[in-house]
Structure formats: C-alpha cells, structure tokens
Amino acid sequence: MTFAPDQLEMLTAPLDKARVATREQGGKTLSYIEAWHAIAEANRIFGFGQWDRETVELRQLGEPRDVSGKMRVGYSARVRITVRAGDTVIIREGCGFGSGIDKDADQAHESALKEAESDAMKRALMTFGNAFGLALYDKTQANVATVVSAVVQTATASLAMCRDEADLKEWSATNGEMIAGLSEVEKQGVRKAYAARQSAIKSATNPFDQQKAA
C-alpha cells in the first residue's frame, strides 16, 4: 500500500498561488513556499506522526568573514524525510544552503544553520509533489493556480441566498464566529465574496431584486 487516493489528490493538485512567496536575488524574482507552510502541508497530507525529518549532515562552508562590520557565514545541510504510507516507508533527501550575517557571530551561525536546514527540508519534500512547491520548478508555473477552499465555496454559496442588506447583516452575525477562526487567506476569500454579493444587491442585478422590481 502507498498513498491513499485522497492523499494522491492533494499531492497532485495545483499549488495555491496564495501560498507562494517571492524574493529578489541576483536581479531575479524567485518564487518559493515558506518552511512553516511545507511542514503544515506535511502534517495535513501525511498525518501527524506519519512523517519524520532528520538532519543527516551540516557543514560550515569556509570561515566566517567580515562584511561591512558584520560576520557572514554559510552552511550546507542534508535533510532526510521519512513518510509512512500504510505499510510502505518512503525516504527522500534534499540538500540546502543557508547564509547568516550579523554583528554577533553566534547569531550569524544560527541564522545560517536554520536557513540551510529549512532549504534542505523543502527540497526533500518537493519531490512529493505540487503541494510542496514542485510546481514552482516549472518556469511556466502551469500548476500554480488560485485555489478556493471548501469553506470559502460554502460561504459564497450561502451569501448567494442573501436577498438584501438585512440578509447580509444577519449572515454576518450568524457566521462571525466561523469567520474569526479562518486563516487570513480564507478570510480574504470570504470578504471578497461578501463584497461581490453586496455590490450585486446594490446594483439590483441579482434574480431576487429583479423579482422585487417586477
């Protein structure tokens, strides 16, 4: 047994564009996912206790050097990811690099070590599919898309039943606690759906308003 059908679906689904961060490096814009998101996805897809991360190698790259009064140091790391999928154990490894710069040499080392481990972990997880950033290695980013979560879809559907401002106010009061517990990305999706419905009501373009006008 390997991954369950629902796990395979999550691994091969397009990467949510909202989860993609960017940074400038060497005059180019690089796209990546945050390390915390990669861990959260591993917990969501593989399950808590069904995967492990092990740093199998850490190596300092040369001696720390002075850069404008600060110490700069680099590290490379190799991280092993072990996933248990039913009776099958899957092992993947990835290598990464980290650079730290700080007036405090110890802080520079710490930053470089963390960055190297995170980078190596993401590279190992990337081999499992789009959910972990594999889609970003395709220059066209064909498998990066705006993904609407199930909770936003449900909220949008219920908002469509609101016929006037009074209904919208009642909807907000009823669903306020639910909205407060959503992620920022989901909150933005609900706010967008709410604003769209409110605009439709005000412009009297929805079927309910047309019936009232008649």
Q: Is the pLDDT of residue 183 over 90?
A: no
Domain with CATH 3.30.390.80 in the chain: 5-145
pLDDT in tens, 117-169: 999 999 999 999 999 999 999 888 888 887 777 778 888 899 999 999 999 99
Whether residue 97 contacts residue 73, with contact meaning beta carbons closer than 8 Å, is answered with no
Distance CA 44, CA 47 (A): 6
The pLDDT score that the predictor gives to residue 58 is 95
Q: Is the pLDDT of residue 214 over 50?
A: no
Class of domain 5-145: alpha beta
Q: Torsion angle, CA of 122/126/130/132, rounded to 10 degrees?
A: -20
Name the band, by pLDDT with cuts 50, 70 and 90, for residue 204. low
The pLDDT score that the predictor gives to residue 37 is 92
In three-state secondary structure terms, 139 is: coil
Whole-structure pTM value? 0.71
Q: Using a pLDDT cut of 90, give the percent of the chain over it.
A: 60
67: left (phi over 0), alpha (psi -120 to 50) or beta: beta
Residue scoring higher pLDDT (76 or 152)? 76
- What letter represents residue 22's amino acid? T
The pLDDT score that the predictor gives to residue 83 is 97
Q: Is the pLDDT of residue 205 over 80?
A: no
Give the up-direction half-sphere exposure of residue 178: CA atoms within 13 A in the CB hemisphere.
Answer: 11
